Copies of this chain bind each other. A is one copy, B any other.
Amino acid sequence: MQPDEARLDHMLSKLRERRQRITPQRLAILRILASGEGHPSVEGIYSIVVKDFPTTSLATVYKTITLLKDLGEVLELEFSQGSNRYDGSKPFPHPHVVCTMCKNIVDPDLQSLSAMTAEVSEQTGFKVNNHRLDFYGLCPQCQEGEG
């Protein structure tokens, strides 16, 4: 786990600003979210944190993530079947590519996104300020095991 120190520091100062306490459990959760590795679920975060702090509960992970959402420091990717996933390194809307087999999530850098947003505005007259762009399919590894 290699947390982005700048992201981590930013999150920590946001907590201090709001007079929120920096507990060992919260610090461990922040480190994972700031690492930028994957888009962990609550269960995934919990399974890592519990190694260092065996008494940690799922409820604490949920509460910490709710706090970070309120602070605008984590992006929640909702899934009605399966668990939600969280992105603490890029807490603003951006496209995701999800492998339906291994559940891995990748962030593409799409040149055509601004053009598409412009197309939406032009065609509908909407003032677009948020989006949820997910592409689903098979990642290169999972394609090999397929037909």
From A32-40, A46-54, A56-64, A130-138, give the one contacting chain B.
A130-138
Q: State whether A137 and B143 are in contact (beta carbons under 8 Å apart), knowing that A116-B112, A119-B108, A120-B110 are contacts in the complex.
A: no
Question: What separation, in Å, do the CA atoms of A100 and B132 have in the docked complex?
Answer: 13
**A116: which of B116, B124, B136, B143 is its contact (CB, 8 Å)?**
B116
Give how many A residues have a beta carbon under 8 Å from the other chain's beta carbons: 41
Question: What separation, in Å, do the CA atoms of A111 and B113 have in the docked complex?
Answer: 12
**A139: which of B100, B111, B124 is its contact (CB, 8 Å)?**
B124
Whether the Cβ atoms of B138 and A126 lie closer than 8 Å is yes
Whether the Cβ atoms of A131 and B120 lie closer than 8 Å is no
- The yes or no answer to A145 lying at the interface (CB within 8 A) is no
Q: State whether A126 and B99 are in contact (beta carbons under 8 Å apart), knowing that A78-B81, A135-B117 are contacts in the complex.
A: yes
Whether the Cβ atoms of B136 and A134 lie closer than 8 Å is no
- The yes or no answer to A55 lying at the interface (CB within 8 A) is no
Whether the Cβ atoms of A111 and B106 lie closer than 8 Å is no
The 4 A-B residue pairs with the shortest CB-CB distance in the complex, in nearest-first order? A78-B80, A125-B140, A130-B136, A128-B137
- The yes or no answer to A127 lying at the interface (CB within 8 A) is yes
Which B-chain residue is minimally distant from A141 (CB atoms)?
B125
Whether the Cβ atoms of B134 and A127 lie closer than 8 Å is no
A71-114 at interface with B (beta carbon < 8 Å): 78-81, 84, 95, 97, 99-100, 106, 108-113
